[in-house]
Amino acid sequence: MQQLRLTRTRRVALIGLAGALAVSLSACAESKRDEGAGGGSGGTMIFGAAGNPKLFDPIFNDEGETFRITRQIFDTLIQNKPGTADLEASLAEKWEPSNDGKTWTFSLKQGVKFSDGTPFDATAVCFNFNRWYNMKGAAAQSQMIYYADVFGGFAKNESDDYSDPVYKSCEAKDPATAVVNLNKAKGAFPAAFTLPSFAMQSPAALQQYKADEVTQSGDSFTYSEYANKHPVGTGPFKFDSWDQGKGEITLSKNDTSPTQTAKLDKLIFKVIPDENARKQALKAGDIQGYDYPAPADYGLLRNEGEQVLVRPPFNVLYLGINQSGPAGDKLKDPRVRKALAYGVNREQFVKSKLPEGAEVATEFVPKTISGYTDEVTKYPFDQQKAKQLLQEAGATNLTLKFYYPTEVTRPYMPNPADVFTSISEDLKAIGIKVEAVAKPWNGGYKDDVQKFGKQDLHLLGWTGDYNDAGNFVGTFFGRKKPEFGFDNPQLFQALAAADASPAGDAHAKAYQEVNKQIMDYLPAIPISYGPPAIVVGPKVKGLVASPLTDERFNTVTVN
Amino acid sequence: MLRFLVRRLLQAIPTLLILSILVFAWLRSLPGGPAAALLGDKATPEKIANLNHVLGLDQPVVIQYFKFLGRALTGDFGASLISTQPVMSEIGTFLPATIELGISAMIVAVVIGIPAGYLSARYRGGAVDNVIIVLTLIGVAVPVFFLGYMMQDVLAGPLGLPSQGRQTAGLDATSITNFAILDGIMTSEWDAVWDAIKHLILPAFALATIPLAVITRITRASVLEVLNEDFIRTANSKGLTQPVVRRRHVLRNGLLPVVTTIGLQTGALLGGAVLTERVFNFRGLGFLLAEGIERRDYPRLQALLLFGALVYVLVNMLVDVSYGIIDPRVRVR
């Protein structure tokens, strides 16, 4: 101990040395970070993601955080024009349906290669279509949510839930022409060809890394090496790594992509689940953008120089009416449902409770969707009329069980409690007693409302997947459901017919007619179209906010 | 000693079995279920029913439990619903962060707590003592998440410390063991070491508050007790200098109960880590658990809760064993 005792001078020297070491280490860290952020020609962008991706094989995925990443790696045959839900060419330069809507001919871009160097051509297109259709195993099929939704079924269905397959076959006429044959016309096309699930993947890589191997593992599934480590597409970026410990997904510029060359050298997605933490990280300059800022923060963020890009609304919030709920037959009377619609002051609600860009919903599809029409019956706020209708229906003493969710925010419903309060105050004003039932979103709300139909009224909504009215109204009212508790074969049939009508004007017309019918029948009340936002730092240029959250980072530069 | 150890190990088995039943039953009783969590927002009752069938969740709960137990005994806890990675490999990836944070917090708690407690006892009743007592009270009373957010808002900026994450995003550091500091040292990436240390400072202090306060109080009480012992009076009357008495007699004897407390607080750190890691986005087991609860990741929750229980059982066993070593009478009883 005695020998270790330091003289005063030595101690001072040692402290000085430690200080110098700390400063130099700190400088090293700074210099390395600077290099990362601005070095090279195009630089690096770090984007704060709200959640973990699941896997990178888009056919087995149905959630936004994964699609945000796969959209940069893969291209679809047709894509959405940036900033809109309109269609434009992607891997297919042209697409042509036959008159009966059962054959789709795609003229493909020439000279395109996957990032593993293999060619993209008609054979690759057919390989992808056939892969989906022939997928084996209940585990794999159960995870192909969008495929089952759009294509109905598989070559061999491994669940009773699937129906006859829409897909029939695919022919590679020549390297630049792929023809997809269907068993029946499907209204979802061509818009559904833009779905990130139906992106074109490299046949060589899919086979090499055994992409079709999906195995049940406890209460979940595990996927192949392809889905976790080797996704290969034609997109502007290619996959580098997924560091689970750090929560970082790193992509780099795909030099083989002649379609949409990226400006950035690297694109990193950093998973930061907490919204407040994402905001802090942006302020600190650790990330250059993030998704789902709280509407209450829009002004604050702008004042601090960040760019809040408000997306055009592509969703709808509705007040669900359950005709077989606790109130019995009362809600079966159209006059009562109409009274509810006249009684809710939607203009006031949208103005006072929703972020800028929100609009009053007049039907169940947003304005950007083909099939939207202005010629539906509208229900402007009119308390007198509402009271009168209730009186005519003999329902002046109505008590309704009104369910609303807690522990959740959705793009169409930033604050469910606010929506509930606003609507229930309106209902009380026309003499309806409201019995409030609040339940956690995943802790019983969805079960009670969608599975058991325990409610009279409830709040729900939907964000669209692609530009087709059927994706909205078909999902809500296409069949008998405990959520709404009505059986209207005429409406179900009209929706099925619209879905099967060939693409084009006839298809849009069919949905316009259905939308009119729906707003006359009024199975629920559309409330609002909400605009979610995405925020990026002041140095980020070229990011176009998309109604479908289909933001592509190939146009982005970071100064 | 061996028999004692074997007996303790055998006692741990029914404890873990009962816990596994409780955890399994609790998770199965929650509304929603794995299928709904797996399908997310677009889940419909039909899709959920189909997936429940595929996953075997429509079978009787007892059968499901025995299947789960069978797999768990081979170390297979299934895959996470959130990341689709096997849960055991997730634990392997995220555990180093929690250990790194826990050790750092314990170092902070011990390095500050013991001297503070000693000072408090030495100047009993004086200003120093009063200030330390008030601070320890605050330390125990303030919730970790509140303290964490406060540190982020008030301290991070002025001190130039990162307020979240384990490493600067995009930092190109080599990962070998997933211990950020150790990896940096092994690969001589000193900037990565410094970066990891900077990221540890705020969460470590936040996590340390409770053990720090407890260690301070225990040290104070223990030193006060020792100061009243006869042997101190003897030492003083022998004419030993005060520093020698303090170091050799007061501190050495006073630290015995403190060491036990440190052991117990190490177990308690696991609980505190859930909130701290969440607030600071520090990707360890606590972060994994918090995310699992929020998004109803049943396989992950089952594995993590049982893993936590196992750690508690093992820590308790270690404490008991150490008692056995110190006091042989414990083994006989």
SS3 annotation, A546-558: CCCCCCCHHHCEE
Chain B environment of A273 (Cβ under 8 Å)? 281, 291, 294
B54 neighbors A466 (Cβ within 8 angstroms)? no
The CB density around residue B252, as the number of other CB atoms within 10 Å, is 11
Which 8-state DSSP code applies to residue A5?
A: P
Structural element, H or E, at residue A309:
strand A307-310
Instruction: Say whether B67 sits in a helix, a strand or coil.
Output: helix
CA distances A124 to A77, A207, A232, Å, are: 12, 12, 12
B71 and A CB contact within 8 Å: yes
Residue segments in chain A with a per-residue pLDDT below the cut of 50: 1-40
Residue B62 in tokens: 């007892």
Angle at A329 between CA A326 and CA A332, to 5 degrees: 115
Q: How confident is the model at residue B237 (pLDDT cuts 50, 70, 90)?
A: confident
Distance from CA of A109 to the nearest CA of B (A): 33
Facing residue for B54 by CB, picked from A32, A139, A222: A139
CB contact under 8 A, B32 and A447: yes
Enter the tokens of residue B113.
Answer: 């707590």
CB–CB of B133/B121 below 8 Å? no
Q: Does B172 touch chain A (CB under 8 A)?
A: yes
Work out the pLDDT band at B327, boundaries 50, 70, 90. Answer: low
Q: What is the CATH number of the domain that holds B246?
A: 1.10.3720.10
Q: Which residues of A touch B179 (CB under 8 A)?
A: none
A357's CB contacts (< 8 A; 6+ apart) are: A310, A312, A313, A531
Distance from CA of B144 to the nearest CA of A (A): 16
CA distance B193 to chain A (A): 9
CA angle A159, A164, A167 (to 5 degrees): 115
User: What DSSP character marks residue A444?
Assistant: I
Instruction: List pLDDT tens digits, range B141-197.
Output: 888 888 988 898 888 888 989 888 898 888 888 888 889 999 999 999 999 999 999
Residue of A nearest to B36 (CA): A442
pLDDT band at B30 (very low <50, low <70, confident <90, very high): confident
Contact residues, A window 405-424, toward B, CB-based 8 Å cutoff: 410
Q: Which of A219, A240, A445, A452 to mutate to test the interface with B (most CBs of B within 10 A)?
A: A219
Structure tokens at B245: 């008495």
Decide if B81 and A482 are in contact by the 8 Å CB cutoff.
Answer: no
Residue A337, both tokens: 């449902």
Give me the pLDDT at residue A36, please: 37
Q: How far is A92 from chain B (nearest CA, A)?
A: 29
Q: How confident is the model at residue B300 (pLDDT cuts 50, 70, 90)?
A: very high
Contact predicate A432/A426, CB 8 Å: no
Q: Is the pTM of this model over 0.90?
A: no
| Polymer length of chain B | 333
The DSSP bridge pattern shows strands A399-406 and A533-536 to be: unpaired
Q: Report yes or no on B103 lying in a domain.
A: yes
Q: Which two tokens stand for residue B180?
A: 């950020």
Predicted pLDDT at A453: 95
Distance between A524 CA and the closest CA of chain B, angstroms: 18
Residues A530, A411 contacting (CB under 8 angstroms): yes
Helix, strand and coil in chain A, % to nearest 5: 35, 20, 40
Burial of B215 per CB tally in 10 Å (0-12, 13-18, 19+): buried
- Nearest residue of A to residue B179, measured between CA atoms: A245
Task: Tell me how far apart the alpha carbons of residues A75 and A90 are, in angstroms, rounded to a whole number.
Answer: 7
> Domain count of chain B?
1
Identify all chain A residues contacting B278, using CB atoms and an 8 Å cutoff: 274
Residue at B194: amino acid letter: W
Q: For chain B, what is the mean pLDDT?
A: 87
- For residue A489, cis peptide bond before it (omega within 30 degrees of 0): no
> CB of A402 within 8 A of CB of A434?
yes
Structural domain boundaries, residue B306: 87-328
B190 within some domain: yes
Out of B50, B55, B94, name the one closest to residue A245 (CB). Answer: B94
Q: Do B84 and A228 touch (CB under 8 A)?
A: yes
Rounded Cα gap, residues A167 and A155, in angstroms: 9
Structure tokens of A358? 């929100």
What is the pairing mode between strands A87-89 and A78-80? antiparallel
Which chain B residue is nearest to residue A34, measuring alpha carbons? B171
Nearest alpha-carbon partner for A280 in A260, A262, A297: A297
d(CA A518, CA A524): 9
Instruction: Compare CB distances from B163 to A247, A270, A284 and report the shortest one's residue.
Output: A284
A317, containing H or E segment: strand A315-321
Helix intervals (H) in A63-220: 64-73, 122-133, 138-142, 145-151, 203-208
- Which run of H or E residues covers position A457? strand A457-463
Distance CA A358, CA A527 (A): 11
CA distances from A466 to A85, A96, A192, A378, A412 (A): 7, 19, 6, 26, 16
Which residues in chain B touch residue A444, judged by CB atoms under 8 angstroms apart?
Answer: 31-32
- Is residue B10 in some structural domain? no
Q: Do A142 and B50 touch (CB under 8 A)?
A: yes
Confidence of residue B310 (pLDDT cuts 50, 70, 90): confident
Show Cβ contacts of residue A493 under 8 Å, excluding neighbours closer than 6 positions: none
- In this complex, which of B93, B170, B195 lies closest to A244 when CB atoms are compared? B93
Would you tell me the crossing angle of helices A383-392 and A334-343 to the nearest 10 degrees? 160
Q: Which of residues 140-159 of B touch A (CB under 8 A)?
A: 152, 156
Residue B102 domain flag: yes
Instruction: For residues A443 and A300, give the distance between their C-alpha atoms in angstroms, rounded to a whole number.
Output: 33
The C-alpha atoms of residue A103 and residue A171 are separated, in whole angstroms, by 11
Contact A556, A543 (CB under 8 A): yes
Report if residue B285 sits inside a domain. Answer: yes
Q: How far apart are CA A294 and CA A279, in angstroms?
A: 10
Dihedral angle sign, alpha carbons of residues A467, A470, A471, A473: positive
Mean local confidence (pLDDT), B311-322: 77
Give CA–CA dist A230/A244, Å, rounded: 15
The span from the CA of B214 to the CA of B150, in Å, is 21
pLDDT digits (tens, 9 = 90+) for A358-372: 999 999 999 989 899
Spatial separation of the C-alpha atoms in residues A426 and A428, rounded to whole Å: 5
A109: closest CA among A175, A58, A203?
Answer: A175
Q: Please tell me the predicted confidence (pLDDT) of residue A488.
A: 96
Please give the structure tokens belonging to residue B69.
């137990």
In this structure, the dihedral spanned by the alpha carbons of residues B139, B145, B149 and B154, taken in order and rounded to 10 degrees, is 0
Confidence class of residue B3 from pLDDT cuts 50, 70 and 90? confident
pLDDT value for B328: 62
Cα dihedral across residues A408, A412, A417, A423: positive or negative:
negative
Q: Based on the number of CB atoms within 10 Å of its own CB, is A177 exposed (0-12), middle (13-18) or buried (19 or more)?
A: middle
- Using a CB-CB distance cutoff of 8 angstroms, which residues of chain B are in contact with residue A63? 40-41
**pLDDT at residue A21 in the model:** 41
Query: What is residue B326's predicted lDDT score, i.e. its pLDDT?
Result: 60
Would you call A219 an interface residue with chain B, using a CB distance cutoff of 8 Å? yes
Measured in angstroms, the CA of A7 and the nearest CA of chain B are apart by: 19
User: How far is B98 from chain A, CA to nearest CA, in Å?
Assistant: 11
CB pairs below 8 Å between A and B: how many?
Answer: 182
Q: What's A211's DSSP letter?
A: T
Residue B3's region, left for phi above 0, alpha for psi from -120 to 50, else beta, is alpha
Q: What 3-state DSSP class applies to A311?
A: coil
Whether residue B30 lies inside any domain: the answer is no
Residue B74 in any domain: the answer is: no
Q: How far apart are the first and last CA of chain A?
A: 57
The pLDDT value recorded for residue A62 is: 87
